[in-house]
Amino acid sequence: MTFSERITRRRQLWWDRPRWLALGPRGAVHRYREHWTFRSRDDADEAWRCCRLWQRTLLNKWNSREFAARHGCRTPTLYWRGADPARAPLASLPEQFVVRPVWGAARSGVLVVTDGRDLLRNGPVSRSTIRARLVRPRRFGRRPPLLIEEFVRSEDGQYRLPTEYKCHTFGATIAAVEVIDRTGVVEGAHRYYTAGWEPFADPMHVGMPQADVKDPPRCLAEMLADATRLGVAFGTYVRVDFFAGDRGAVFNELSSTPFNGRDFTAYCDAFFGALWTEKFPDAS
C-alpha cells in the first residue's frame, strides 16, 4: 500500500464523520468527547491511550504541546489558552506573539504578530482588529479554543516568519526532513532532506515549488532526537514539526494526514509507503 493510500485510509478512519451503526452509541459518544478532551503532560499513560485510535487526540494542538513536553521537548511559552476569545489578554501581550486555534490546518485562523503587523498576511493589524476577528460569530459548529504563544525567534534572534522543519517519522526512523520557507498563508517553497541533511534528488512533493538547498539548522541533532522520541511514543507514522530558534529546537505541532495524501511523487509515495508497511504493518 502506498503512502497516499495509507493517508486516505487514516483520514477516513480517524477524521471522517462517524457512523453510529459502525461505532455504536458508546463509540460515537467517546469520539465526540475525545475531540474536546484536553490532556495534561502529567496524566497517566492510560489517560493518553484512551482507545485503539488514541493518537488522533494528539492532533489537538494543546494536547500535542503537552505530549511533546511530556517527552522532553521544548515548546513555545504559553501566554493564554481559552475558549472565550473576548477574555484573551491582548492588551498585556508583548509586541510579538502567535495566535492559533487548537483545531485547524493550513494555518487557518493563525496570526503571527510583530510590532503591529501580521506577517502571514503581510499587513498591519491592531489589537482591536485581532479581538474583532477572534470573537466573530461562527456560522456552524462550536468555536475551538485558542492558544496564544510566544513568537519563536530565528536562530539569529530575529522576528520573521520562521523556517519550518517537518520530520516525517516512522517510529525511530526519520525518513525525511521537509523544510519550508514560508512567505504567506499558502505561499512558500520547500525541499526535502535526509536525516543526514542530504537533499533528495526527487522533489518528493509537487504541491509547492522547490527551495534552494540550505545549510542545516544548528539545532538539527536536538531536533532529530526530539522527533525520534515522539515518533516512538506515537507508535505509527506522524509528521513532527519544529522551529529552529535562538534557544534550540522548538516543537510546533503534529500532523496526521499531510496534504491529505495528495501531490506526493511516485518515489516518495513508494518510499514512505514501504517504511510504513515495514515499521507498522497493522497500524493506521
Domain boundaries, the chain: 3-22+158-279, 78-149
Rounded distance, CA 60 to CA 67, Å?
Answer: 10
Render pLDDT for 77-101 as a digit per residue (tens, 0 to 9): 999 999 899 899 999 999 999 999 9
Q: What amino acid is encoded at 88 in this protein?
A: A
- The amino acid sitting at 196 is G
Predicted model pTM: 0.93
Q: Is the dihedral of CA 33, 38, 43, 46 positive or negative?
A: positive
The pLDDT tens digits for 123-153 are 999 999 999 888 876 655 667 899 999 999 9
Is pLDDT at 35 greater than 90 in this prediction? no
pLDDT value at 219 more than 90: yes
For residue 55, which amino acid is it? Q
pLDDT digits (tens, 9 = 90+) for 162-217: 999 999 999 999 999 999 998 887 789 999 999 999 999 999 999 999 999 999 99
C-beta separation of 47 from 39 below 8 A = yes
Residue 237: is its pLDDT beyond 70?
A: yes
> Nearest 5 degrees, angle CA 153-CA 159-CA 165?
50
Which one of 34-38, 119-123, 191-195 scores highest in mean pLDDT?
191-195
Handedness of CA 60, 67, 193, 98 (dihedral sign): positive
pLDDT of residue 59 exceeding 60: yes
Measuring CA to CA, how many Å separate 208 from each of 177, 186, 213? Answer: 15, 9, 15
**Percentage of the chain exceeding pLDDT 70:** 92
End-to-end CA distance of the chain: 12
Architecture of domain 3-22+158-279: 2-Layer Sandwich (3.30)
Copy the grid coordinates of residue 259: 496534504
pLDDT the model gives residue 198: 98
- What average pLDDT does the structure give for the chain? 91
Residue 241 has pLDDT above 70, yes or no: yes
d(CA 156, CA 14): 39
20 confidence band (pLDDT: 50, 70, 90) = very low
